């Protein structure tokens, strides 16, 4: 049986349902093969991270870490997505990931980060539709809010959060400030490295605004700069569900691999520095969107009559197996 090696596929489509997602079509490949290619690629990344942690975690200089905790984390990462259960439509043109053994370390593991993002984005999209029913004409905007690069990553994230909360409180209590027309906000904190090698924490937001209203970008830039020292903000209208994917493609950019992602060392360091910090928060009419990945998803379409296809990790890619009991 052929082993499907990791493929390089980047563009993302909206999720079919809460538990699955797919990637853009490439001629000659089935949906399952394309999904597996991405899973394999990111599983290799998790394996590299596991090896890095086992060999190098002491060089990160984090005193409270102990061997047992790091070994457990590395074990979880190395074993994430070791098997996958797909449901394939009888036409073979469509398939969905049905079950897999995810490690759920979404701030380190790209497969788990992507899954978490897609599940959560679907929930957000339903909430946006609900808010628009209550407030016909309400429009969404994405915003990126920055602060000066810093050596104190945790302090930077806390400054971003407290600054956003100050502006929201001013809007709620006094009806003033640049966010006074905002009905709800989702805030996701992200981290990259600046050219000066300091951390670059920043904030990706989705705002939903009262009908006919807008955020004054000049006013927001001025007020934000007073609070954080950050001068760069970016505001864009969000029109489609796919636009949200661009905003929240990853739970945290520390899990982004590739040229503009962080190194294994920085990803590990950021993970431990930010342990226990909430990196996705909801305010106003977006408050209360569940963050868990339980079985309480909307069922989506009925896949009970679809064919079962099983794969197991085989060292360099996934090997098809007849059942999950087969070694
Ligand atoms: Zn995982």
118 CA to middle of ligand 1, Å? 14
Q: Helix (H, G, I), strand (E, B), or coil: what is residue 33?
A: helix
Q: Helix (H, G, I), strand (E, B), or coil: what is residue 231?
A: coil
pTM for the predicted model, two decimal places: 0.81
Paired with 100 in beta bridges are 84
Gap between the Cα atoms of 165 and 143, Å rounded: 15
Gap between the Cα atoms of 20 and 96, Å rounded: 6
Answer whether 280's CB lies under 8 Å from 269's CB: no
Output the CA torsion sign for 227, 233, 237, 243.
negative
148 CA to middle of ligand 1, Å? 32
pLDDT in tens, the chain (327 residues): 333 333 222 222 333 333 333 333 334 456 677 778 888 989 999 999 999 998 887 777 776 677 788 889 999 999 999 998 888 888 767 777 888 889 988 888 988 888 887 778 888 888 999 999 999 999 898 888 999 999 999 999 999 999 999 999 999 999 999 999 999 999 988 888 888 999 999 998 999 999 999 999 999 999 999 999 987 778 887 767 667 776 676 554 545 555 557 888 888 889 888 988 888 899 999 999 877 765 333 446 788 888 898 999 988 788 889 888 776
80 CA to middle of ligand 1, Å? 5
Q: Which helix (H) or strand (E) holds 188?
A: strand 182-193
| Matching CATH number, 120-290, of 2.60.40, 3.40.30, 3.30.70, 1.25.40 | 3.30.70
Gap between the Cα atoms of 262 and 110, Å rounded: 12
Gap between the Cα atoms of 286 and 188, Å rounded: 13
Calculate the alpha carbon distances from 31 to 37, 89, 179, 251 in Å. Answer: 10, 10, 42, 24
- Segments of the chain assigned to CATH 3.30.70: 120-290
């Amino acid at each position: 049986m052929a082993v499907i090696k990791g493929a390089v596929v980047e563009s993302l489509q909206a999720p079919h349902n809460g538990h699955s997602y797919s990637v853009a079509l490439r001629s000659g490949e089935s949906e399952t093969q394309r999904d597996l290619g991405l899973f394999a690629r990111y599983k290799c990344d998790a394996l590299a991270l596991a090896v890095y942690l086992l060999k190098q975690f002491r060089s990160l200089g984090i005193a409270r870490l102990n061997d047992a905790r790091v070994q457990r984390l590395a074990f979880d990462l190395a074993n994430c997505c070791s098997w996958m259960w797909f449901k394939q439509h009888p036409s073979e043109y469509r398939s969905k990931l049905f079950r897999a053994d995810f490690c759920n370390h979404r701030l380190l593991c790209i497969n788990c980060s992507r899954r978490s993002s897609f599940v959560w984005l679907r929930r957000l999209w339903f909430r946006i539709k609900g808010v628009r029913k209550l407030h016909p004409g309400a429009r969404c905007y994405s915003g990126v809010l920055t602060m000066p690069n810093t050596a104190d990553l945790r302090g930077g994230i806390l400054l971003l959060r407290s600054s956003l909360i100050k502006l929201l409180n001013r809007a709620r209590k006094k009806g003033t400030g640049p966010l006074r027309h905002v009905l709800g906000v989702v805030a996701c904190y992200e981290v990259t490295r600046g050219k000066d090698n300091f951390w670059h924490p920043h904030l990706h937001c989705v705002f939903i605004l009262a009908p006919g209203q807008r955020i004054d970008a000049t006013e927001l830039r001025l007020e934000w700069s007073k609070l954080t020292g950050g001068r760069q903000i970016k505001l864009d209208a969000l029109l489609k569900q796919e636009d949200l994917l661009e905003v929240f493609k990853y739970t945290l950019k520390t899990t982004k691999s590739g040229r503009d992602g962080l190194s294994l060392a920085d990803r590990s360091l950021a993970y431990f520095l930010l342990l226990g910090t909430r990196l996705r928060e909801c305010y106003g009419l977006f408050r209360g969107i569940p963050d868990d990945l339980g079985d309480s998803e909307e069922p989506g379409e009925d896949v009970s009559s679809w064919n079962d296809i099983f794969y197991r990790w085989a060292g360099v890619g996934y090997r098809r197996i007849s059942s999950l009991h087969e070694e």
